[in-house]
Structure 1
Amino acid sequence: MKTKTYLAVMEPCDSGYGVYFPDLPGCVASGKTIDQAARIAKDALSMHYYALEEESEEIPEPSQSLSAEDTAGNVVTPITIYPDLLHEEYRNRRVKTNTTIPAWLKAAAEEKGINFSRVLENA
């Protein structure tokens, strides 16, 4: 299974920790504790990576080390994602959508306890 591990830089701040990935400009997160910041950073990394893939953008390879400027006074932690699982998860996620049907059909379906979402998904 394909994995990608990027180094996350956690900067202490008044509200906890701000997180950024030097290899992925624009991929940022924050959390009140190191653990919370790491969890949120993993979600941010996952979404950022997926967006780059979907937009056919070049995805930078992870660095093996960071500059002293990035690490001084900060916490650096590796964050691992699984791109193949990520792609399947996002592709199969549930999304809300509206549809229009005749009023009589809606009333009949509700009377019988029919789940509209399940019918559409099965179709």
Structure 2
Amino acid sequence: MCYIYPAVFYREVDGRYSVIFPDLNDLATYGNDFADAFAMAQEACGQYLFNELKEGNVLPVASSIEDVIAEEDGAIVNMVDIDLKAFERKYGERSVKKTLTIPGWLNASCEERGINFSKVLQEALIARLQAR
């Protein structure tokens, strides 16, 4: 499901852009340039909407672009879209099945000791990601 919300992009003195979503409790983010700010706006919007739906809340109605007023000269009002299905596939907590190959002796030893393969693999992958 795709959602579109207006966002206000403010150019900062250092060239970065701050982004505010008036319809989403003034959700804010920023980016190093306009393209980065737009990508960060999509991520922030997706996370906000994903969490709201996960908690069972009703999503706010999006204002029309004409109704959003930029409070500073030079600010840009733009619509930001997010595909929540794609967002959930990328960031959701739903488990996915993976096939792996290990030596037979390691499989037998782990099974004898009651080792949970999924848990060990998750812990190892998280540790690897944190080490980088």
Change (3 A) 1:63 1:54: same
Partner of 1:112: none
How does the TM-score come out when normalised to structure 2?
A: 0.63
Aligned pairs, how many? Answer: 106
Does residue 22 (structure 1) correspond to residue 22 (structure 2)? The answer is: yes
Q: Equivalents in 2 of 1:32, 1:85: separation in Å?
A: 24
How far is the alpha carbon of 1:77 from its aligned partner? 1.7
User: How is 1:10-89 mapped onto 2 (pairs within 5 angstroms)?
Assistant: 10-15=9-14, 16-65=16-65, 66-70=67-71, 72-89=73-90
Contact kept? 2:4, 2:81, Cα under 8 Å: yes
Displaced runs of 4 or more, over 2 A: 65-73, 83-89, 91-94, 116-121
Cα offset, 1:25, TM superposition: 1.0
Query: Which stretch of structure 1 is more off in the superposition, 23-32 or 45-54?
Result: 23-32
1:42-95 deviation digits (Å, cap 9, x = unpaired)? 00000000010111122101111233344742112211112233334413378x
Identity %: 23
Tell me how large the CA RMSD over aligned residues is: 3.4
Task: Give TM-score, length-normalised by structure 1.
Answer: 0.67
Q: In the TM superposition, what is the alpha-carbon distance from 1:118 to its structure 2 partner?
A: 8.5
Separation in 1 of the partners of 2:73 and 2:11?
Answer: 11
Report the Cα distance in structure 2 between the residues aligned to 1:119 and 1:32, rounded to whole angstroms: 38
Contact 1:8 1:21 in 2 (8 A): yes
